[in-house]
Amino acid sequence: MGGPETLRSCTEEFLLYLDAVRGLSENSVTAYRNDLSQLTGFLGGDRLISDVTAEDIRSCIGILSKEQKAASTVNRFIAAVRTFFAYCRKFEYIQTNPALEIRTVKMPKHLPRFLTGPEIDELCREPEEHEILWQSRDSAIIEMLYSSGCRVSELASLRFDDMADDYSSAVVTGKGKKDRRVYFEEDARKAFGTYLDDRKKLFADKHMKDTVNRIFVNQQGTALTPHGIGWIIARYSGPEGTNHHISPHALRHTFATAMLSSGADVRVVQELLGHASISTTQRYTHITTERLIDMYNKAHPHGGKDNE
């Protein structure tokens, strides 16, 4: 670097390293950037990296806690800081690593939010029953998210040449830039075909060239972002629609829960979701267990609380 290494200069070099050397996705690099920008904001970008102490890092964590940040947000910040200081130690910008003393905060045990059968059926009907935005597109988005278990970022990045000829599957690029194949059942394929027909007609009527290779676009022909898809789902699950707000990720949770409830092997579901660790997938087995217990208590003659 030349000269004394500051927190800001080391951060920029580290982010470049994540992108160019480690090949992390744009979303991952952005997440690191956001967390480390908080560190530089708290401590000052001109602070010498060698002067940062464990107590400094703990004070940053304390600020996040006072701001009532979720435990998952605080732990993500800690993980980013740990990785950053490990990099600085490796390249000898510091002699000791102050982040080694930092421990993560305790996480509350939350099972992933998922939709019941009637709830997912209601959401899938919403674009047709309440044409809030672009009915055929929005129906295809909901059906394809639920059918495939895709992350919203994976669906937003989907291109025409990623799709199988019969629309039954697609290759998506997940975390770590790993490709995998996901699948679309009949309702999703039908909704997708209807959307493509409407898309061609829309741009023909507007005398616009439909040159965007991304599958999901707005009515001006610009590719949708993950945030844009999240906004669409929010409209249909908000007061104008089902009035039970969900995120796109809840559809991924619903897919996983439905697969495991139907007897799919957990390793198959792991592959379909693109989880690096099977322990991540196994969270959903807790959901199915709780569901079975609930169904048992409701169905068994002696299971109800009011039975004597």
User: Which residues are marked as active site?
Assistant: 151, 175, 249, 252, 275, 284
Q: What is the C-alpha to C-alpha distance for residues 263 and 260, in angstroms, rounded to an integer?
A: 5
Tell me, rounded to whole angstroms, the distance of Cα 81 from its chain centroid: 21
Tell me the chain's radius of gyration from C-alpha atoms.
23
CA nearest neighbour of 177 among 12, 13, 18? 18
The Cα 252–Cα 304 span in angstroms is: 32
**Do 92 and 264 touch, CB atoms closer than 8 A?**
no
Rounded to whole angstroms, the Cα distance separating 52 from 38 reads: 14
**Amino acid present at 68:** Q
- Which tokens belong to 119? 């709830």
Give the relative orientation of helices 135-148 and 186-205 as an angle to the nearest 10 degrees: 150
> Mapping DSSP to helix (H, G, I), strand (E, B) and coil, where does residue 109 land?
coil
